[in-house]
Amino acid sequence: MPTDPIKVLILCTGNSCRSIMAEALVNDLGQGRFQAWSAGSFPTGYVHPRSIETLERHGIDPGQPYSKSWNEFAAQPLDLVITVCDQAAGETCPIFPGKPAKLHWGTPDPAKVLGNEADTQAAFDRAFYFLKERIEQLVATSERSE
């Protein structure tokens, strides 16, 4: 008997890098058992092109992400809310219906790394691999609890 996917919202401040990559990773690695969206407390209004490039370079379909406010999800029942900003743990998040579980995965902002092309790519790769590892653990844990 099919079950509804686990509904996950990934939050960051700007919703342009880390949360965008995490959304795509959850949707890809979750193989239909998870449905993810991302949003920001103060969305930038754009998706950082390096986020899309990083996902595609690692074989992950980025989908059609756009930078949006967490207010778009205020009435949506969620199972899990994950914050990925390295400072967001202290941010006040809105109350979501159904009292979803919460996780915080502090991830340094790769867009703030100053340096040459190689430094920037390395920062995005570090964020990608960190998030991928956490999401793989999340997926594996949900498989064991089924």
CA dihedral 109, 114, 118, 124 (to 10 degrees): 10
pLDDT for position 145: 66
Residue among 89, 93, 101, 140 flagged as catalytic: 93
Per-residue pLDDT of the chain (146 residues; tens, 9 = 90+): 568 999 999 999 899 999 999 999 999 999 999 999 999 989 999 999 999 999 999 999 999 999 999 999 988 899 999 999 876 555 566 667 778 999 999 999 999 888 899 999 999 999 999 999 999 999 999 876 66
Cβ burial of 131 (10 Å; 0-12, 13-18, 19+) is buried
pLDDT for position 57: 97
Cα–Cα distance, 97 to 91 (Å, whole number): 19
Is 85 a residue of the active site?
yes
Phi-psi region of 79 (alpha: psi -120 to 50; beta: other; left: phi over 0): alpha
pLDDT for position 93: 64
Is 12 a residue of the active site?
yes
Residue among 6, 8, 10, 12 flagged as catalytic: 12
Instruction: Give domain 6-144's CATH superfamily.
Output: Response regulator (3.40.50.2300)
Is 17 a residue of the active site?
no
